[in-house]
Structure 1
Amino acid sequence: MQFKHHGFTRLSCRCAVVIALGIGLSGCQSIFSKHVEWETIEPEQYPVLNAVGYAPIEAQLGFNASNKRLQAMKASKLDAYRELAEQVYGQKVDGNQALANLVLTDNQLKASVEGVIRGARVVKSYPVGDDTYATELELDMALVYDLYLSTAKPRRIRDVTYY
């Protein structure tokens, strides 16, 4: 004697479960039955970026003129790095204005830049006039790309083989 439950027999319930599992597993089968080959993407041209940073000598904190000159050299290098970061990552600009009775009461503008610069080299550091120091930097994007590849390994699909 077969037990009937809601119009289905035990045998038909078992068949339904087996069919559902079969369909579910066959749907997953396509995930495990292919092989994807990847290749790296390389741009056609690499630009070379240049930046110049400036710093006043007399405004630097230091005990004597020599110390102030060294501080200005460092500050001008940092300013050149900031300019390179602007070229690579762009600059974030925030603006704010306030009006009262249709009269502008407050006007604020704030700019910032953030990023990591790797592979830049100092081309030249030199005094400009009597009170300014300048540093020129160069960033070869081919070197940046090579440094990036050594850590990130960007990929794209080269070929897909289905089994």
Structure 2
Amino acid sequence: MTLRWIFVSVLAAVMIGCAPVGQYQNGSDNRDLEPITVRVSGFGTYEDASRDRSNTRKRLLARRASQLDAYRNLAERVYGTVIFGSSTVSDFVLSNDMFRTYVDSYIRGAKMVAVNEHSDGVFETVMELKLETEFRSCVAQVSDIQVQDLCPIPVPRDSDSTGDVQARSVDSLYYLD
């Protein structure tokens, strides 16, 4: 009986000694985190670069395609991509392999950094998005499936000039300052 009381008192002392004292914080403080800037590129081109380059409508469509590709790449980088796939195997030989990707996101606060038309007829749009501390801490607390619904990207603060287009020292036909 005495041995049992000694064991219980030693166990209680060990548990009390391991208990945290004061205010315990899990992980780092959110104020210590810096915003992350995500930068992506999107590309678009003409159907026939030699013939369509002088057609203004097709140039604008190629430019728009590069912007939409940049938005899609940004959404994939921030929220991820759903991938569906199937493979058919016949006699231990792969006969068909098919993949589809699915992106459905809401992006706000994206900043267009540059829109360039290269000499080969390819438009490149560079976009960036600043992920603030609140977004990062929310992503760390919810499951991957719930991120898009529960963690919206906050509107940029300070004096971010959303929508400014600039391209310098690049291989392009025109640029905006």
Within the alignment, does 1:49 sit opposite 2:57 as a pair? no
Largest Rg, 1 or 2 = 1
| Structure of greater relative contact order (alpha carbons < 8 Å, 6+ residues apart) | 1
Instruction: Answer yes or no: is the 8 Å Cα contact 2:109–2:154 preserved in 1.
Output: no
Calculate the TM-score normalised by the size of structure 2. 0.52
In the superposition, the TM-score normalised over structure 1's length comes to 0.57
Number of residue pairs the alignment of both structures matches: 107
Q: Determine whether 1:85 maps to 2:75.
A: yes
Normalized per residue, the structure richer in strand is 1
Indicate how the Cα distance of structure 1 residues 59 and 75 shifts in structure 2: closer, same or farther if over 3 A, else same.
farther
Give 1:99's aligned residue. 89
Once the two structures are superposed, the pairs formed by residues 65-80 of structure 1 within 5 Å of their partners are 65-80=55-70
Matches within 5 A, 1:1-163: 42=30, 44-58=33-47, 65-142=55-132, 145-147=153-155
CA contact (8 A) 1:58 1:131 kept: no
2:42–2:70 CA contact under 8 A, matched in 1: yes
Alpha-carbon distance change, 65 to 130 in structure 1, aligned in 2, over 3 angstroms: farther
Consecutive unaligned residues in structure 1, runs of 5 or more: 1-40, 149-163
Corresponding residue number in structure 2 for 1:30: none
How large is the RMSD of aligned CA atoms in angstroms? 2.9
Query: Cα distance 1:53–1:59, how it changes in 2: closer, same or farther (>3 A)?
Result: farther
CA distance in 2, matches of 1:100, 1:111: 25
